[in-house]
Amino acid sequence: MRTKYPVIVVGAGFAGVETATRLSRRGVRVLLIDRNSYHQFQPLLYQVATAQLGVSDVARPLRSITRKRRWVTVLHADVTAIDAKARTVTTADGDTFTARVLVVASGAEPNFFNTPGAEENAYPLYSVKDAINFGARMVELLEDAHREPQSGDLHAVIVGGGPTGVETAGALAETFKYVVPEYFSPDLAARCHVHLVDMVPNLLSAFAEPNQKYAEKRLREVDVDLRLGVGVTEVSPVGVTLADETTIPSGLVVWAGGLKAGPIIQASGLPQGRGGRVDVGMDLSVPGFPGVYVLGDSANMIDAHGTALPQLGSVAKQSGIWAAQNIVADLKGQPRQPFRYLDKGFMAMVGRGAAVAELGRRRFRMQGFPAFIAWLAVHVALLSGWWQKVRAILTWVQDYLSNERSQVFIGTDRR
Ligand SMILES: Cc1cc2nc3c(=O)[nH]c(=O)nc-3n(C[C@H](O)[C@H](O)[C@H](O)COP(=O)(O)OP(=O)(O)OC[C@H]3O[C@@H](n4cnc5c(N)ncnc54)[C@H](O)[C@@H]3O)c2cc1C
């Protein structure tokens, strides 16, 4: 089957959803394709992994998002190939779709940097399924360790000291320190340990030094063992080997060590640059490929000052809005505008009541409780859907005031 659409958007993440819904508002027909029937909010996956939030707090059905956008057609399908010259998209079902304008917003995937055993034995936190799998494994290991007090200690290892690694380490350490004593026993809590490993000598490289130091101090306060300045050479089912030849016994390893473009980009013929991402022009289209835009985590974008833009939700979202404007201009035969990114800065949660933030282009620095409140406000604003926002706020209040976790993990059956 071959069907033609004015615009096809591949990927319904921050960038793809913005492009599709904005175009629909302007009366442009769009086919929005994603391998998931839902839009997922990656920045909060670590909270799903540690049972702080539930799946429906961070994932929203695409048909709910687009139900009032009559020009958007949602297709739940895995895209297996893109022909950027012909602007065609082929799905795993064998269907082919052709577009006048093709928008590739398929995000990225974990980069294991060819580390032996990492892909097989570590958990990435890049999708809702990853978060559920990790949480189920954690509960399984806690139950085993509780049932068999002589079985030794439980070690969790986080690989990567960027925002994802720091947020996950903080959340996991607080789960072990505050929730495990109440749900299991103080003895088991004393046998649970979190290690964070990074080959660079400091956490949160993109942040200013005072914020790096704050994050370090805060993680040490909740007993996270920081192994900085040493790389991981192997991940096995029973542990992690480091470049200094030490090993950490662990069956619970999180890989937060970096991202690369997904396979459909690699095989698309589009020009790939840093991280395998597509180098796009200032207007977000791909030079030499008329009618093709690449957005969000799939693209290497530069701002008006020539600075490379980071892989962030706000960059992806704004690129989606901007691309929609340029596509409307294309269809009307008007000139496109170069992407102007409104830099809102970045932030990371370190634990309950503790975060670091560097806001705006001038990087106004915050840490501790004020940064924690700023983090909550920004993430509520970014969440898709009013019910998601209300539920997340209520859950965060409960989490802040108590050691209760209202979410459950469906793990392996024990019969
Ligand atoms: C754990 C984690 C924490 C993060 N924390 C923050 C944060 O605190 N703040 C922040 O600003 N940013 C954060 N980010 C980054 C932010 O989430 C990304 O920059 C953003 O999601 C990129 O949006 P996107 O639309 O480009 O891609 P994505 O959101 O990744 O969406 C890509 C979509 O494409 C679909 N897709 C991919 N391949 C195919 C295919 N072959 N066929 C069909 N569909 C496909 C996927 O299912 C997905 O829905 C975090 C990222 C991660 C992983």
Distance CA(150)–CA(153), nearest Å, equals 9
Residue-by-residue pLDDT tens, the chain, 415 positions:
567 899 999 999 999 999 999 999 999 999 999 999 999 999 999 999 998 888 988 999 999 999 999 999 999 999 999 999 999 999 999 999 999 999 999 999 999 999 999 999 999 999 999 999 999 999 999 999 999 988 899 999 999 999 999 999 999 999 999 999 999 999 999 999 999 999 999 999 999 999 999 999 999 999 999 999 999 999 999 999 999 999 999 999 999 988 888 889 988 889 999 888 999 999 999 999 999 999 999 999 988 777 789 999 999 999 999 999 999 999 999 999 999 999 889 999 999 999 999 998 889 999 999 999 999 998 988 887 888 889 888 888 888 888 877 676 665 555 5
**Both tokens of residue 353?**
């009541």
What's the CA-to-centroid distance between 384 and ligand 1, angstroms? Answer: 14
What's the token pair of residue 62? 């695409």
What is the residue with the minimal CA distance to atom 40 of ligand 1?
A: 79
For residues 184 and 190, what is the distance between their CA atoms, to the nearest angstrom?
11
Provide the H-helix boundaries in 233-353: 263-266, 313-332
User: Residue with the nearest Cα to atom 39 of ligand 1?
Assistant: 106
How many whole angstroms separate alpha carbon 48 and alpha carbon 127?
Answer: 10
Distance of CA 52 from the midpoint of ligand 1 (Å):
20
Q: What b/e sequence results for 333-351 when a residue is b if at least 16 CB atoms lie within 10 Å of its CB, and e otherwise?
A: eeebeebebebbbbbbbbb
Ligand 1, atom 27, residue with closest C-alpha: 107
Any atom of ligand 1 within 6 Å of the Cβ of 127: no
Q: Is 245 a catalytic residue?
A: no
Residue 62 Cβ contacting ligand 1 at under 6 Å: no
Query: Ligand 1 within 6 A of 11 CB?
Result: yes
Give the other-Cβ count within 10 Å of 184's Cβ. 17
**Atom nearest to 78 CA in ligand 1:** 42
Task: Please tell me the distance from the alpha carbon of residue 105 to that of residue 352, in angstroms, as a whole number.
Answer: 33
Q: Across the strands, what pairs with 104?
A: 10, 294
Query: For a substitution probing ligand 1, which of 31, 42, 265 has the most ligand atoms within 8 Å of its CB?
Result: 42
Q: Whose CA is nearest to atom 53 of ligand 1?
A: 126
Span between the terminal Cα atoms of the chain, in Å? 47
CA of 371 to the centre of ligand 1 (A): 24
Q: Which CATH superfamily is domain 2-110+259-332 in?
A: FAD/NAD(P)-binding domain (3.50.50.60)
Q: Residue 413 Cα, ligand 1 centroid: separation in angstroms?
A: 31
Closest ligand 1 atom to Cα of 299: 26
> What would the DSSP string read from start to end of 187-200?
HHHHTEEEEEEESS
Q: Domain 118-257+345-401: state its class.
A: alpha beta
| Cα(325)–Cα(337) distance, integer angstroms | 8
Domain residue limits, the chain: 2-110+259-332, 118-257+345-401
Residue 176 CA: distances (Å) to CA of 182, 190, 334: 10, 8, 57
Query: The tokens of 52 are what?
Result: 């702080």
Q: Is the CB of 78 under 6 A from ligand 1?
A: yes
Cβ neighbours around 304 below 10 Å, total? 10
Are 2-110+259-332 and 118-257+345-401 the same fold in CATH? yes
Residue 313, ligand 1, Cβ within 6 A: yes
User: Mapping DSSP to helix (H, G, I), strand (E, B) and coil, where does residue 202 land?
Assistant: coil
Q: Which one from 18, 167, 174, 358 is the annotated catalytic residue?
A: 167
